[in-house]
Structure 1
């Protein structure tokens, strides 16, 4: 999966990067290489949280139904 990243140099030095497609996904670094590493990690964490939230929302919806049994299965 690819995301467009905006990198902006900062007046005090270093860089800030953000991902327009992921509101609030922002990072910073002293060099372009560092800011790219940091924003990649921020994207991964952002997507992890989104997936966890989707799962929680799904489980809440399932629990609202009558006669539903929930089991855990390891794969």
Structure 2
């Protein structure tokens, strides 16, 4: 099953990884570690709460005013 991983830099270093289809999150010092940890967390989540028909989210970017 292919799922989505969204990675952002963590303030304290490393990366935070999010799977939007399930809402699971994890972190790691490297991109590879963050994805591996997210894979494990998501697999555990799916063992309890299987997805009936997984669909990929639409991921895009948007802007807000600098003074928001």
- Flag whether TM exceeds 0.5 (same fold): yes
1:27 maps to which residue? 26
RCO comparison, higher one (Cα < 8 Å, 6+):
2
Pairing 1:1-75 to 2, within 5 Å after superposition:
1-23=1-23, 25-51=24-50
Deviation >6 Å, runs of 4+: none
Q: State the number of aligned residues.
A: 50
Give the RMSD, CA atoms, in angstroms: 1.0
Where structure 1 has 5 or more consecutive residues not aligned to the other structure, the ranges are 52-75
Q: In structure 2, the residue corresponding to 1:21 is in which secondary structure?
A: coil
Larger Rg: 1
Question: TM-score, normalization: structure 1?
Answer: 0.62
Specify which structure has the higher proportion of helix. 1
Q: In structure 1, the residue corresponding to 2:36 is in which secondary structure?
A: helix
Offset at residue 8 of structure 1 (A):
0.5
Question: TM-score, normalization: structure 2?
Answer: 0.68
